[in-house]
Structures are given as structure tokens and as C-alpha cells.
Amino acid sequence: MEIIIQPTAGEAAGIAARIIARLLRKKPDAVLGLATGGTPLSLYQMLIGMKLDWSRVTTFNLDEYIGLPREHPQSYHGFMWENLFRHVNIRPENIHIPDGNAADMPAFCAAYEKSIRAAGGIDLQVLGIGSDGHIGFNEPSSSLASRTRIKTLTPQTRRDNARFFGSEDLVPFHVVTMGIGTIMEARTNLLLAFSENKAAAIAGMVEGPVTANNPASVLQLHPSVKVCVDEPAASQLERADYYRWVYANKPAWQVV
Ligand code: PGA
């Protein structure tokens, strides 16, 4: 795991943006896995500003609420169109977001997995992390081998996300999410975390045991993970000085 600690969220997001820009320039038909929530917003703004060519890019989003109409402003369809897709030249047919209103959800989930494989797999998956260590919406106790399926949010995640809905009562209970096994098949995972609220989850993910209690900790078993964090999110890392040292002494060819 490469832990990139930056003074501010903006600087950490800037590094993530450069990593993605480099991939899209090198591989114009890259397959990106995308995330929603507060964390990737600045990343998406930076990517829009970079005027990259998205015409051959394919995307798969991690998750979606079940039961919200697509047009609902807090649906992840709505989020992605508002905050990224409508600003870039991506082809609508290359966009994949789980359907939270599928009539046959298990069949939809199997088809989603199949379409990721048919696209050649995900080159780079953008991840946030929940304050409880979830990635996608794989809450603690999720199988570390899980595939795309329905999950029930924890009360903590519903409270965390109430800020988007105005009231906790309006946050759906159920979601459809790529599984942890699905995320582990991405060739690279790029995880972003900002603010003190994420510090315990980040410390558990990087330095704790691999455990379904902190689903993100499974990324210790993935061969290519980059973690872009601000100082508050890094504040509980025991080896933070070492991670800074590694980043400061990267060979020139590895610097983004
Ligand atoms: P946030 O959510 O970016 O809104 O903090 C992260 C997540 O739940 O994965």
C-alpha cells in the first residue's frame, strides 16, 4: 500500500487527479471504477478542469441506493451526472451505475458483474472509506469475497449520510454495491480520505489486522493500492513518518 499524506484535502485530491489523468492519457479506453459521497467531489472538479478526453472511457460506479428514483438528487445516478458526467465528453452508453430499482435484483447484480468482465475489468477503482471502514457500501461483517449484491446500511452510515438528505429518516436502509471481491479485482485501487472523522478507519485499514470488521483492511492483500489522505485523516497512523519518508524519496520515474 502506498500511503500519500498531504497537508490538505485539496493537495491529496490533486495527486489522485494526476494519477487518473496519467492513466487516461496512457490508456484512452481505460475502465474506471467511480465512487460517490463528499470525498471525490474535489477530485471530479479537478478532472473536469483538466479537459481530458473521456470519449473512449468506460465507467462502473460502486453502488446505489435502493428505491430512490434515478432523478432523485441524492441518487448516485443524479450525483454522477451532476458532478462529473455532464461536464465531460463521456458517452452515456459507456456509463454503468447500479440500478437501485431493478425488478430482479440478484439477476441485475449478476449482469453487472458480467458487464465489468466484458469491459476487460476495472483498470483503476476510486474509493472513499466510511467512518466504519466500509468501501463501496460493504459494511463491517461483509464477506471479504463478496460480489455485487444488496446490503443494509449500518445506523452509523445512515447518520453519516443524513447530511445529504437533510434528515436521517430520509436515508434509504438498503443499497446495491459491488462486493469486496469485485473491488479486489480492480488492477489498481485509489482510496481517498479526508478529515479526522476517517482517522480511525484509515489506521485500521493500513495498520490493523485484515478483518471484515474494517472491510477496507482487505486492501492490504491487494498488490496495487494508493491511499491519498490529508493530515487529519492520517492522524492515527503509527508509521505516518515512514509513509512521508517513502513519498519524499520516491524514485523520479514514480513521481506523479
Ligand atoms: P464520504 O463517504 O465521502 O461522503 O465521506 C465515503 C464512503 O461512505 O465511502
252 CA → ligand 1 middle, Å: 32
Whether the pLDDT of residue 256 is over 90: the answer is no
137-155: per-residue pLDDT in tens? 999 999 999 999 999 999 9
pLDDT for residue 253: 84
Residue of 79, 98, 90, 96 lying closest to 38 (CA atoms) = 79
62 CA → ligand 1 middle, Å: 12
* CATH classification code of 2-212+222-249: 3.40.50.1360
φ, ψ of residue 68 in degrees (nearest 5): -80, 135
102-126: per-residue pLDDT in tens? 999 999 999 999 999 999 999 999 9
d(CA 184, CA 189): 8
Tell me the pLDDT of the chain averaged across its residues: 97
pLDDT for residue 146: 98
156-209: per-residue pLDDT in tens? 999 999 999 999 999 999 999 999 999 999 999 999 999 999 999 999 999 999
Ligand 1 nearest atom to the CA of residue 40, by list position? 3
251 CA → ligand 1 middle, Å: 32
Whole-number percent of the chain with pLDDT over 90: 97
The predicted model gives 65-92 an average pLDDT of 96
Task: Give residue 109's identity as a one-letter amino acid code.
Answer: C
Whether the pLDDT of residue 99 is over 90: the answer is yes
Residue of 67, 6, 11, 19 lying closest to 224 (CA atoms) = 19
Residues marked as catalytic:
63, 132, 134, 139
7-22: per-residue pLDDT in tens? 999 999 999 999 999 9
Map out the domains of the chain as residue ranges. 2-212+222-249
Is residue 37 lining ligand 1, measured as CB closer than 6 Å?
yes
Per-residue confidence band for 254, with pLDDT thresholds at 50, 70 and 90: confident
The predicted model gives 213-241 an average pLDDT of 98
Is residue 128 lining ligand 1, measured as CB closer than 6 Å?
yes
- Evaluate whether 177 touches 99 at the Cβ level (below 8 Å): no
- pTM score above 0.95: yes
Is residue 227 lining ligand 1, measured as CB closer than 6 Å?
no
Ligand 1 nearest atom to the CA of residue 194, by list position? 5
Q: What letter would DSSP give residue 152? A: E
Whether the pLDDT of residue 252 is over 90: the answer is no
Residues 6+ apart with CB under 8 A from 132: 139, 140, 154, 156, 157, 201, 214
d(CA 108, CA 149): 9
d(CA 219, CA 5): 17
Is residue 14 lining ligand 1, measured as CB closer than 6 Å?
no
Is residue 232 lining ligand 1, measured as CB closer than 6 Å?
no
Scanning the structure block, which residue is given the C-alpha cell 465489468?
116
First vs last Cα of the chain: how many Å apart? 16
Determine what percent of the chain falls in helix, strand and coil, rounding each to the nearest 5.
Answer: 45, 20, 40
Residues 6+ apart with CB under 8 A from 230: 5, 6, 7, 8, 9, 11, 12, 193, 194, 195
Cell of 1: 500500500
